[in-house]
């Protein structure tokens, strides 16, 4: 089953990449015709071009840091200017999003740094990377970095320094303060785990600053409903943000050291205050852990397009219940995973050892194919943040929300994660506008407000747009009255960003989750009731036949579908079967694209697939 899942995921990724390339090529061909019809879109595109101005400098990897170190260690003014030009160019590339990590000295290769979890006997003997320097030379280069930062208007902060007299090394973060909230990089992190694994408590400590008292004091400020406070269980998709300043420090409320529960709940830092100060924002999607709210959790995972799934595991309980379900969903959606083992202060050493052994075994299993790496130093947190997704590593943090142990490593890791909107495989700035609706509100004196993520294109205040499809597959003409990002007003937004739009002449009853906002054109996109997809049945206790119904998740779309046909010779599907299946939406037509990934479930039944044809 594990090998068939790997093969099917490779097939899905291939279909998805091919269809995305086709759609972007088609959009590029029609871009010139649409420019004349949408004059308001031009300034937004220019803003995107300014934001993502491409520099021809090649990004320096860890192996290429020798040249920069040689320039910084020189006393020549010309070499210092050359180092400043290189760093300035790197900061303005789209890939780096206004920040770059400078590594000075001789660093261990990743295989040696992570050898404690890879069980590689030859890792420690592998050569180091970079040029050796003394502690005096490192301090001299550090001073020159500070000088360059001042000249370029950026900030430099020390991530870690290994101060050895003859073999010193260090990593330093260069970060350019964004000119406005609209250009602040954002990282979306979905927080999942079983009931009582410490999700809300960990988020409360990370975002509020104060430690927990062991009885849930830190999570009080995160609950939104009375029954959540009474039961201590999250039942809705909550959103919390953690801002990092240009110098890399977390932005916390002034009352972070308070022990009064009322103060913790009341005196939190407003989102707009965090956004104004932040050079990077980490948005946490706090998902429910109870089985009763699995549908809500699954919707949060598929609609928010997270860059990371942070799986919480209680050291006292281990990987049990819904934790395995959440991990399986994250792996099926091919989202990178990191693990936080919480409550290490209250758990005996032998129980912690059993939990660690269990988590390691599950991650190494053929179904996961992840290499667990226990983060034990700031250097490991820095390097893992840049490489864990590409190298199929799974960082594991051992944390205590009561003593604060391990939390600094988590903050360092989150601070350095690449921004979500910088992923060009997921988001296309140059394409036509496609904005998916994930939340709907009616705000007094403002009207209908929708929240969602821009999948492609750009949008600005005043744009003429269409909202749909409605129950008949039609589209509603409207315009963007105002726009906010993290509750701060913005004039425009680009692909990959999560923003809220206030729409003119639209009633809340006309809007539902899963609808799409596109620019106004003479030929709006076609909504469909039926589509065809390739699917793999991950689990079913008997057989699936025609007219079988399940809840389908495809991005922000969440609707019941019915199987109306399949190409299986026997006309039935069992666990592990692959087939081309024809689906039909039961309620209303939806806008789906060929190449979109889908997940469907009903009870314990789970299926993974990709849209291959619209009918």
Residue 556 is predicted with a pLDDT of 92
Residue 32 is predicted with a pLDDT of 59
User: Could you tell me the fold of the domain covering 181-422?
Assistant: Rossmann fold (3.40.50)
Distance CA(561)–CA(549), nearest Å, equals 6
Burial grade of 150 (CB within 10 A; 0-12, 13-18, 19 or more): exposed
Residue 53 is predicted with a pLDDT of 35
Give me the residue spans of the domains in the chain.
2-38+526-614, 53-175, 181-422, 434-519
Share above pLDDT 70 across residues of the chain, in percent, rounded to a whole number: 85
Superfamily of domain 434-519: Translation factors (2.40.30.10)
Residue pLDDT, tens place only, 391-447: 889 999 999 999 999 999 999 999 999 998 888 888 998 899 999 999 999 999 999
What's the rounded mean pLDDT across residues 120-129?
A: 60
For tokens 């932040």, name the residue: 278
pTM listed for this prediction: 0.88
Sign of the alpha-carbon torsion through 140, 143, 145, 147: negative
Phi, psi of 409 (to 5 degrees): -65, -40
Give 2-38+526-614's CATH code, choosing from 3.10.520.10, 2.40.30.10, 2.60.40.10, 2.60.120.260.
Answer: 2.40.30.10
Residue pLDDT, tens place only, 171-190: 999 999 998 899 899 999 99
Residue pLDDT, tens place only, 248-271: 999 988 765 566 666 655 557 788
Residue 308 is predicted with a pLDDT of 94
At 392 the three-state DSSP class reads: coil
For residue 141, say if its preceding peptide bond is cis, omega within 30 degrees of 0: no
Residue 314 is predicted with a pLDDT of 93
pLDDT band at 347 (very low <50, low <70, confident <90, very high): very high
| CB distance 459 to 450 below 8 Å | no
What's the rounded mean pLDDT across residues 108-113?
A: 83
Distance CA(392)–CA(589), nearest Å, equals 37
Checking if the pLDDT of 602 tops 60, the result is yes
| CB distance 596 to 587 below 8 Å | no
Checking if the pLDDT of 540 tops 90, the result is no
Tell me the pairing of strands 488-489 and 393-398.
unpaired
Residue pLDDT, tens place only, 25-44: 887 777 656 555 544 444 43
Give the DSSP per-residue string, 424-451.
TTT-BTTS--EEEEEEEEEETTTEEEEE
Checking if the pLDDT of 511 tops 90, the result is yes
Checking if the pLDDT of 18 tops 80, the result is yes
Task: Examine domains 2-38+526-614 and 434-519 and report if their fold is the same.
Answer: yes
When the pLDDT of each residue in the chain is averaged and rounded to a whole number, the result is 85
Nearest to 519 by CA among 463, 456, 449, 481: 463
């Amino acid at each position: 089953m594990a090998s068939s899942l790997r093969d099917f995921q490779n097939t899905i990724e291939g279909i998805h990449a091919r269809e995305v390339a086709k759609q972007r090529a088609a959009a590029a061909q029609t871009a010139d015709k649409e420019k004349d019809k949408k004059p308001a879109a031009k300034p937004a595109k220019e803003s995107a071009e300014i934001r993502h101005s491409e520099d021809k400098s090649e990004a320096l990897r860890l192996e290429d840091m020798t040249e920069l170190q040689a320039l910084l260690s020189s006393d020549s003014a010309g070499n210092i200017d050359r180092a400043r030009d290189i760093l300035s160019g790197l900061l303005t590339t789209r890939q780096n999003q206004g920040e770059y990590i400078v590594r000075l000295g001789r660093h261990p290769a990743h295989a040696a740094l992570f050898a404690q979890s890879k069980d590689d006997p030859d890792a420690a003997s592998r050569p180091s990377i970079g040029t050796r320097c003394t502690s005096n030379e490192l301090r001299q280069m550090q001073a020159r970095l500070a000088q360059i930062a001042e000249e370029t208007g950026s900030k430099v902060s020390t991530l870690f320094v290994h101060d050895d007299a003859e073999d010193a090394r260090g990593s330093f973060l260069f970060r350019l303060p964004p000119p406005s909230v609209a250009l602040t990089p954002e990282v979306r992190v979905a927080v999942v785990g079983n009931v009582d694994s410490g999700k809300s408590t960990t988020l409360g400590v990370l975002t509020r600053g104060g430690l927990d008292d062991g009885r849930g004091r830190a999570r009080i400020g995160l609950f939104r409903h009375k029954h959540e406070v009474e039961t201590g269980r999250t039942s809705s998709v909550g959103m919390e943000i953690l801002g990092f300043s240009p110098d890399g420090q977390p932005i916390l409320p002034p009352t972070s050291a308070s022990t009064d529960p009322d103060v913790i709940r009341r005196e939190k830092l407003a989102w707009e205050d965090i956004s104004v100060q932040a050079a990077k924002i980490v948005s946490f999607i706090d998902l429910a852990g109870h089985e009763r709210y699995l549908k809500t959790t699954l919707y949060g995972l598929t609609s928010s397009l997270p860059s990371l799934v942070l799986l919480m595991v209680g050291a006292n309980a281990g990987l049990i219940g819904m934790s395995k379900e959440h991990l399986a969903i994250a792996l099926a959606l091919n989202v990178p995973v990191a693990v936080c083992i919480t409550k290490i202060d209250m758990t005996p050493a032998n129980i912690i050892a059993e939990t660690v052994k269990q988590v390691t075994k599950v991650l190494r299993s053929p179904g996961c194919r992840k290499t667990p790496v226990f983060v034990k130093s700031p250097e490991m947190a820095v390097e893992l943040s840049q490489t864990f997704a590409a190298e199929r590593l799974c960082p594991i943090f051992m944390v205590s929300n009561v003593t604060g142990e391990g939390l600094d490593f988590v903050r360092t890791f989150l601070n350095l994660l690449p921004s979500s909107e910088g992923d060009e495989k997921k988001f296309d700035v140059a394409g036509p506008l496609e904005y998916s609706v994930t939340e709907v509100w009616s705000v007094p004196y403002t009207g209908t407000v929708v929240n969602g993520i821009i999948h492609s294109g750009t949008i600005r205040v005043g744009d003429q747009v269409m909202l749909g499809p409605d129950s008949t597959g039609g589209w509603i003409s409207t315009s963007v009255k105002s726009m906010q990002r993290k509750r701060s007003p913005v004039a425009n937004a680009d692909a990959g960003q999560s923003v809220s739009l206030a729409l003119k002449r639209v009633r809340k009853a006309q809007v539902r989750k899963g609808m799409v906002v596109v620019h106004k054109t003479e030929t709006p996109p076609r909504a469909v009731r039926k589509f065809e997809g390739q699917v793999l049945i991950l689990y079913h206790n008997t057989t699936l036949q025609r007219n079988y119904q399940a809840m389908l998740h495809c991005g922000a779309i969440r609707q019941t579908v019915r199987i109306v046909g399949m190409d299986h010779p026997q006309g039935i599907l069992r666990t592990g079967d692959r087939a081309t299946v024809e689906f039909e939406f039961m309620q209303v037509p939806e806008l789906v694209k060929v190449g979109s990934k889908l997940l469907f479930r009903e009870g314990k039944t789970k299926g993974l697939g990709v849209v291959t044809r619209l009918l």
